[in-house]
Structure 1
Amino acid sequence: MQYISHYASPLGGILLAADDCGLTGLWFEGQKYFARLLDHDHEERNATVFETAKRWLDVYFSGREPEFDVPLHLTGTAFQNDVWRILRTIPYGQTMTYGQIARRLAAQRGVPSISAQAVGGAVGHNAISIIVPCHRVVGANGSLTGYAGGIDRKMRLLALEHADMSRLSVPTRGTAL
């Protein structure tokens, strides 16, 4: 059974989802893939994991890096889970490219290479936005591509973290918008 709760962030409403193991979803209302992994049968409930997640978000949106973890229950393929683990290692206020993630994952798996596009697919289907920081992933040329919550939110999240935005750019065309 999954449970839901709501959080009002400075960037818009957020839907939180959890089960008995941990947080399973964190989506901006109306974003791409909104509530994609949410069970049809769910109920709104106060739960300790939601209290922890909301406290984490309060710290984060105050412009500070949270120094505690939220219990997570990541549900995806082995490949997606490996990508999402790497996302969680990207330091606060820094970025990593899809290619860097692909190279790191290839080294971990002992294979010559992994497609950056395949990594992009896994990053794009991350259901726990912000806490699993997919907003910190950028294109090889510094393009702010592919954030399900929208490019504007991605820019605002990176700015909140005081990331160096000088080498980053907003794409003017393409599917990343």
Structure 2
Amino acid sequence: MDSISRFANDLSSWYWWLSVVFVGLAINLVSSYAKPPLDKWLDGRSSRRRLAREARDREFDEKASKIAADPTLLTLANQKANQAETRTQLAFILIGVNLILLFTVTSLPEPRSGMTTFLIVGLFALIPMHLLNLMKAMKGETAAEDLYRAARKKYRMPNPQLQPTPDGAAERNR
């Protein structure tokens, strides 16, 4: 009840209303002067990010086209994607083994020896490093698979510039 009466007193006092009006005006002035530079900065940042994204997309498309032009490169891209997937799976297994070992070691009865304590601290320190390694492996796997899929899609598309020759090979029109 005390807080309600204090709030009622604040509402009826002139200094509370003056401070509310002053703060409202200050916020309005700051926002009116800060908004145009902020909008300009965000617009510039957005356009730079869009240009960088378009450059990355062009580079990705060029790599996919280069890989799609040669069946050997396509096979190698598939192997690279499979290796990246295996690396990710091994990182998951390593984290699982670390967690099982950590659970087992921390379940040991007290008192713990110095070696056991060292092992627990070491496992706790290694888990974040293994998680970072897992995230890096997953990112590499995604990139390799995306590149392989894009190249495979381009490889399957008919290319009007290639003409079949009598020996079964394709020759580029000039």
Please state which structure has a larger fraction of its residues in helix.
2
Which one has a bigger Cα radius of gyration?
2
The structure whose RCO (Cα within 8 Å, separation 6+) is larger is 2
TM-score using structure 2 length: 0.23
TM-score using structure 1 length: 0.23
Please state which structure has a larger fraction of its residues in strand.
1
